[in-house]
Structure 1
Amino acid sequence: MTPVKSAFRTIHLWLGLASGLIIVFVCLTGSVLAFEQEIEHAWHRERYFVAPATTPRLPLAQLAEAVKAHKPKARIGGFKLYADPARTVEVSLAGGDAGGKNGKGGPRGSESRMPGKGPEKGGKGGKGDGGGPRIFINPYTAAITGELNPRDNFFKTVEQLHRGLVAGKIGKLVMGVSATVFLFILGTGLVLWWPIARKALTPRLKVKWGSGWKRLNHDFHISLGFYASVFLFIMALTGVGMSFDWVGAGINRLTHSPLKRPEPPTSAAPAVAGTAPFAADAVLALARQQAPDAELFSVQMPKEPTGSIRVAILRPNAITENATDEVYLDQYSGRVISSQNYAQRPVGQRIRGLFKPVHTGAIFGLPTKILAFVIGLLGATFPITGTIMWLNRRRKSRRNMRPQLQAV
């Protein structure tokens, strides 16, 4: 082995030993999160799906009344409606209106994230969705089918563990540093994998399944490590991007994008005092006129008298659930104040919006989720197989030393 490769082996070894447990943990929790939505829908199917009816869907006003009857003190923050006739309507309550014990919602489950999630503000100074409790309701009968508090569920806990957020900023920093170290481990691993002679290339691309356990362990680490390294590198890179704010700021500067998203526009004061706000059903009707083929509409009502109504529209074949068009309406007149489709968003914002779907494998749907799940499981094995290889080398080195010591 050349001195350069020897140095890379030393770096690869000690970085791997130092961060091995964290890498195993992060890869395993990441694999669980790859199928978060599918597991959640199977786990609580009655919450998300109903039998489609031949009758038209009920108006949002009637659904809102059913929610208020279920939770009299609740204040409705928005609605999430799917084109799929079998899906329930999701009603988000303003943060803090949980209605359960200690302000917590009902059954444990996964957060159903609003498309276009970011600064979901319903006008200047007021947030729309805000991560409050959510009520699921049958759009044909107005029956409550489930309840969820995004801050108190299994998958949210797993996500917080995965990102180190249970330890606050320090935990996030640790995970960000670990992801950076993982990038170095993958890079040095590729250098070590690269054969000097061309004839050594083929053996490094195959796993000898009929060999002994030591050889299989070696091939799992070397061969499967090579195939998984590209995908693991992308996952680690996006993990670094989500952990450190300076990455997003750097992308914005490189792409000449605004460093911050602009504040939502405000509504004009009504000409007549006491004018009623624009109804959610009227907002939905306008949105459907603009995008009759949309897969999903998210309507966020303003919290303040000067706030605007935000509508996020997910069109067919969108690259991610965050790739929505946005429309802001005056809450009194229903006039469109501003609008922006996904392609018009700043480049930096679109790049940063891809970090999470790429990281979790949701970027192209089920195929990439399966890939992310498998790669995550493989990533969890590499610190283990690498440690076993190191221990085997140490034992072999000690056995080779004994005859020399006896001869002396």
Structure 2
Amino acid sequence: MGIIHLWLGLLSMLIVVNVCVTGCLYAFKNQFSEFVNREKIFVSENSKRKTVDEFQQMLSKNGSDLKSIMIPADGNRSFVISYTKNDVDFTAFFNPYSGENLGAPNVGNTKFFETVLDLHRNLMMGNVGRQINGAGVLMFCILLFSGFILWIPKKWKQLNQSLTVKFNGKFQRINYDLHNTLGFYSFLVLFFIAVTGLYITYPWVKNALIVSMGGDSISQISTSSEEDNSAFDNLFNDMLNRQKEKAQNVEKPVSLQKILDETQKILPYNAVTTLELPNKDNPRFMVTKINTDNFLGAMLPDQISFDKKGNLKSQELFWDKPLNKQFTSLAKPLHTGEILGLKSIIFYFIISLIGFSLPITGFIFWFNKLRKAL
């Protein structure tokens, strides 16, 4: 285990440092964007918000077509509205009380975070970099396991020593304790972050995780069976229904507020709500609510669709999905730490900083031993 830990650590050190640093930076993308756009995002809370129908009418008078509207759960935040005018797409913040267009979001930081994400995913080297990154993270998973084996005290009386850092010791001792102790405290979360990252990179990891949660493997999905045929028939019928709905002419447009009211009856909780209007690709109204009404406050998506007449067509509620599909829908926020909002992002940030430090403290420990041996 010591030999495996040493060589895999040397081989993957730069990859792990890069992934952890870029992950730390990218985790705060939304918070940084909110800070830059704070004057447009936060508004003075008033007595009553304008309805979505009023916003649609206001845009229509201006020669614009509403595409989607994001309604925050908090009353002191502005609406985010996407619309089309003269075949050009726009997204802007709107005051929910006065209806004032507060302007488009400032995207000056977008290029920076795109570069950070490119480094995080594939070292800015396309698919080749993605494979190198994947190999490095796979080594890191083995490193975490071998590190845990090496951490296990040989005697129970040494357990306290393995769980604490002796800050009054010499530099070499402090460095070793930081590597050994912080590695133990963080290895489970780091392993989880690494595996969810591999889920995105390698199909075989995705397949293994889905199967372990009760889903069908990729090879089994193509196998013909009565159940598969039934699922295919349902999918085919849904596609046919959508095609019919595209050709459907509605004399009187359905009220958007009615859509939201019907959604509230099915999902009776206060949450961030996004309403997408029918378009050339999708003939239905799509309403997505982010449910945080649970013990941990995790952000769980519920989605409902309506046809052009306002009739309920489908509902995909998070708690009704099987475990494998629940994980699939949450894979990204579980990997980034966004699942619990700012508190989990900060927690992931601290864990990623520890992950960043492990290759450095490990290299220093190895280099000191090598220098003494020479």
The TM-score normalised by the length of structure 1 is 0.76
Q: Does 1:40 align with 2:17?
A: no
Of 16-25 and 42-51, more deviation after overlay is shown by 42-51
* Residues 94, 101 of structure 2: 8 Å contact kept: yes
Correspondence for 2:226 = none
* Residues 82, 89 of structure 1: 8 Å contact kept: yes
**Which whole-Å CA distance do the structure 1 matches of 2:131 and 2:149 have between them?**
27
1:289–1:164 CA distance, 2 compared to 1 (3 A): same
Correspondence for 2:172 = 214
**Which whole-Å CA distance do the structure 2 matches of 1:236 and 1:188 have between them?**
15
**Which whole-Å CA distance do the structure 2 matches of 1:357 and 1:269 have between them?**
33
Please give the residue correspondences for 1:236-385 in structure 2 after superposition, counting only pairs within 5 Å.
236-254=194-212, 255-256=214-215, 266=242, 268-269=244-245, 273=249, 275-304=251-280, 307-318=283-294, 323-331=300-308, 333-385=309-361
**Which whole-Å CA distance do the structure 2 matches of 1:173 and 1:38 have between them?**
30
Amino acid at match of 1:235: I
Q: Does 1:23 align with 2:16?
A: yes
Correspondence for 1:182 = 140
* Residues 360, 369 of structure 1: 8 Å contact kept: yes
Q: Does 1:11 align with 2:4?
A: yes
Q: Deviations over 1:346-379 (max 9, x none)?
A: 3211112333333222333444322211111111
1:316–1:21 CA distance, 2 compared to 1 (3 A): closer
* Residues 15, 137 of structure 2: 8 Å contact kept: no
Q: Deviations over 1:171-190 (max 9, x none)?
A: 33332222211101111111
1:145 to 95, 102, 121: 102
Give the Å deviation of 1:41: 2.0
Amino acid at match of 2:206: G
* Residues 50, 87 of structure 1: 8 Å contact kept: yes
Unaligned 5+ runs, structure 1: 1-7, 100-132, 399-408
1:359–1:274 CA distance, 2 compared to 1 (3 A): closer
Correspondence for 2:51 = 59
1:377–1:305 CA distance, 2 compared to 1 (3 A): closer
Correspondence for 2:75 = 85
Query: Alignment partner of 1:145: what SS?
Result: strand
* Residues 134, 149 of structure 1: 8 Å contact kept: no
* Residues 292, 298 of structure 2: 8 Å contact kept: no
Give the Å deviation of 1:381: 1.0
Amino acid at match of 2:71: L
From the two aligned structures, give the one with the greater helix fraction.
2
The TM-score normalised by the length of structure 2 is 0.82
Q: How many residues align?
A: 353
Unaligned 5+ runs, structure 2: 222-230
* Residues 207, 217 of structure 2: 8 Å contact kept: no
Query: Alignment partner of 1:377: what SS?
Result: helix
* Residues 241, 248 of structure 1: 8 Å contact kept: yes
Identity %: 29
Of 247-256 and 214-223, more deviation after overlay is shown by 247-256
Correspondence for 1:114 = none
**Which whole-Å CA distance do the structure 2 matches of 1:251 and 1:320 have between them?**
24
* Residues 75, 97 of structure 1: 8 Å contact kept: no
For the aligned residue pairs, the C-alpha RMSD in angstroms reads: 3.2
Q: Does 1:161 align with 2:119?
A: yes
1:58–1:157 CA distance, 2 compared to 1 (3 A): farther
**Which whole-Å CA distance do the structure 2 matches of 1:26 and 1:204 have between them?**
27
* Residues 59, 65 of structure 2: 8 Å contact kept: no
**Which whole-Å CA distance do the structure 2 matches of 1:172 and 1:64 have between them?**
43
Q: Deviations over 1:42-97 (max 9, x none)?
A: 2321232211112x222324434666788x6x754311112311111112357x97
Query: Alignment partner of 2:360: what SS?
Result: helix
Give the Å deviation of 1:34: 3.2
Correspondence for 1:118 = none
* Residues 98, 149 of structure 1: 8 Å contact kept: no
Q: Deviations over 1:283-336 (max 9, x none)?
A: 2232234334321211111212871111112334256775222211111x1111
